[in-house]
Amino acid sequence: MQLKVLSYSDIEQVRTWRNDNMSMLRTPFPLTAQMQGEFFVNNVCNRQVNARYWGMFEHSHEEYPKSELTCDYDTLIGMGEISNIQWENRLGEIGLIMHPEHLGEAEKAIDLILEKGFDFLNLENIFGECYECSPYLSIWEEICGKYNARCCYLPSRKYWQGKYHNSLYFNVNRKDWKKCCN
């Protein structure tokens, strides 16, 4: 898996995954193609915003029968971000949306996003929140344990399908992350 720049067609694919699983989102309403296009131009392409976005791509190698030709290509399997960056405090919020069939690769994707946040953006702390109604909850709990993140469960943080859900709120510090990477 590699993190790469997102294209307009990539971001449109992410919109379909997002609209199919709104239980994990702060903004639980479907986005139109126009809304996603505006997000792409105003956020993904704008280096002045306090966020950075990456596509998660899986490299595939396919051989064609009856010939010596091969085809190498990259398949988009997710989108990750560090948003709400506070440069003066060296702090940012992590986010992830994966293709449903690649949810098993989310931990590796998160590791790559953390690496970008700590080693490329020079952040000191990366925080996040995951609602208990999200299919990502167990993945984030694993990440929190792996990197000795500071965690707490906050009550009634998400209203979804007629009831309130708690959330896991967490913070990964650069030093704790480095200990696990070395």
Which residues fall within 8 angstroms of residue 143, CB to CB, at 6 or more apart? 107, 110, 149, 170, 172
Mean per-residue pLDDT pooled into runs of 10, the chain (182 residues): 93 93 85 95 95 91 53 82 97 96 94 97 98 94 95 96 96 95 73
Which residues fall within 8 angstroms of residue 36, CB to CB, at 6 or more apart? 11, 12, 14, 15
Give percent above pLDDT 90 in the chain: 84
At 8 the three-state DSSP class reads helix
pTM above 0.85, yes or no: yes
Residue 21: the pLDDT is 87
Residue range 132-148, pLDDT digits in tens: 999 999 999 999 999 99
- Would you give the DSSP letter of residue 47? T
Token representation of residue 124: 């000191």
Count of C-beta atoms within a 10 Å radius of residue 168: 21
Residue 23: the pLDDT is 86
Mind giving me the DSSP string for 111-159?
Answer: HHHHHIIIIIS--SEEEEEEETTSTTHHHHHHHHHHTT-EEEEEEEEEE
